Every structure is written in structure tokens, then in C-alpha cells.
Amino acid sequence: MIIGGASAFATTWLASVGAALIGETVAFLPVFPAQTSSLRGLYVPVAGPFIALADRRNQTVAGVTLLVVDGVLQAASVATFILGLVRQVGAANSTSTTWMLVPTPGGAAFALSW
């Protein structure tokens, strides 16, 4: 879960950063002089797609859908990563060795068992 969450987050966030870089490059080309880029929020992990949603200029339904899906996937991957960390710590605590004294038949009065 840790590796899966981290790799899913890295994939979705780096895709967002790539889209922001491409979008800002295209926005400053002389072909599109009147457009301004609203993709700077995509540089922020997890909250970035929702920040980019706040600027609704020139956004299509497909663009809004992609931003929402991207934000949900980033949040879910971070949650998976955190859940993996929590479960790993819980598993490490539950497998600790316990020692106890048990009576034995024969010569010795007690023995250690684990």
C-alpha cells in the first residue's frame, strides 16, 4: 500500500505539473496573446486541481472533469499511502514477542516459552 500510494501520487501529480508547464508555455505563445494561464495551481500537490478549478475562465466540461478526477486521484493516493504507513506500524506492534513462564513436567520447575 505504501509503494502503490506513493507511485500513484507521483504519477498523478507529475502529470499535473506537466500539464501546467505545457499550458503555461502555450498561453505565452504569440498565437494566443489574449489568453492567460489558470493552471499555476496544478503545481500544488493534492489541492492544486481544485485551486485550478477556481479560475473558470475558458474551461470546458472536459477540462473541469479532468481537474476533478485528477484531484480525487491525488487525494486517494495520498490516503492510500498514509493508510499503508498506519497499517505497517500496527502490524509491527502486533507481532512482538511475548515471554511467559510455563510449568514443565520432569526436572525443571519452569521454562521460558515464546
pLDDT for residue 57 = 67
pLDDT in tens, 36-62: 557 788 899 999 999 888 876 667 888
When pLDDT is averaged across residues 10-32 and rounded to a whole number, the result is: 82
pLDDT for residue 58 = 62
**How far apart, in whole angstroms, are the C-alpha atoms of residue 58 and residue 68?**
16
Distance of CA 53 to the CA centre of its chain: 20
pLDDT in tens, 51-95: 888 876 667 888 889 999 999 999 999 999 999 988 876 655 555
Instruction: Answer left, alpha or beta for residue 96, where phi above 0 means left and psi between -120 and 50 means alpha.
Output: beta
pTM for this entry: 0.68
- CB 70, CB 12: distance < 8 Å: yes
pLDDT for residue 63 = 84
On the question of pLDDT at 98 being above 90, the answer is no
